[in-house]
Amino acid sequence: MTELCEKIMKAILSSFGDDLHHKYYESEFGNCHGYFRINNYTIPLKEDDHKEEDDSIEGLGMHTDMSCITIVDQDDIGGLQVRSRDGIGLMDIIPKDNALVVNVGDLLHAWTNGRLRSSQHRVVLKRRGFAGSRFSLAFFWCFDDGKVVFAPDVVVGGCEGARVFQSFTCGDYLRFRESNVRGKFEKVGYTVEDFARIEDRH
């Protein structure tokens, strides 16, 4: 998984400019580390008296990941939904054999000055006629806590506007998310956009 994230990151840097992966991979992403999380969701049972509108429940609330890159392997139950670019629509991410989901996380969102978007996503479970679980395996590839996240000028230059994130230390952002009681449970509204976006501060 680490190797996969490294390859993806190098491909992203190359897509920003020919020499960027040589210039920035080792210095910026060389200390990244990853960890796995196993998610186990209980599927709600279908009951005869249930109305259509409460046929689904949220297994994991809407959030953005705090990583640079997240790789998700979901089983064949489905239910992962990603917010579309317009901020309104939701797309179902249909499980496919031998396919992994790649998410951009908040740290890469900030490091790319928003060129890559940390998308909001959630897991919705449909009531079924059997008791069981949905499993997913998520691998979060992150900067180390001491890393100062600051988009290089050349990356900012590739965006049409100006720099939109001030520099911040990764650990400070993680603490902002974790120490904020609402941020713990309602991740949307307590993301890197709220923590480090320059426009919001003035």
Ligand X SMILES: O=C(O)CCC(=O)C(=O)O
106 touches Fe ion (CB under 5 A): no
Q: Which is nearer to Fe ion, 14 or 180 (CB)?
A: 180
Partner touching 136 among ligand X, Fe ion, none, CB below 5 to 8 Å by kind: ligand X
- 65 scored as a contact of Fe ion (CB under 5 A): yes
Which residues fall within 8 angstroms of residue 17, CB to CB, at 6 or more apart?
154, 158
Shortest Cβ contact with ligand X: which residue?
136
> Counting contacts by CB under 6 A, is residue 37 touching ligand X?
yes
DSSP 21-65: HHHHIIIIITT-EEEEEEEEEEPPBP-TT--GGGSEEEEEEEE--
Determine the straight-line distance between the first and last CA of the chain, rounded to whole angstroms.
40
Token duo for residue 12:
């992203």
Asked whether position 136 contacts ligand X by CB under 6 A, the answer is yes
Alpha-carbon distance of 123 to 135, in angstroms, equals 11
In the structure, how many helices (H) and strands (E) does the chain have? 7, 10
Size of the site for Fe ion (CB under 5 A): 1
Among the residue ranges 72-80, 112-120, 159-167, 180-188, the one whose residues contact ligand X (CB under 6 A):
72-80
Angle (nearest 5°) at CA 11 between 87 and 17: 90
Q: Which of residues 88-127 bind ligand X (CB under 6 A)?
A: 121, 123
Minimum CB distance to Fe ion smaller for 65 or for 193? 65
Q: Least distance (Å) from ligand X to the CB of residue 183?
A: 15
28 interacts with Fe ion by CB under 5 A: no
Is 106 within 8 Å of 65 (Cβ atoms)? yes
Contact pick of 71, 72, 77, 125 for ligand X (by CB under 6 A): 72
79 Rama sector, left if φ>0, alpha if ψ -120 to 50, beta otherwise: left
Instruction: Output the smallest distance, CB 139 to Fe ion, in A.
Output: 11
Query: Which chain residues interact with ligand X by CB under 6 A?
Result: 37, 39, 60, 65, 72, 74, 80, 121, 123, 136, 138
Query: Which chain residues interact with Fe ion by CB under 5 A?
Result: 65
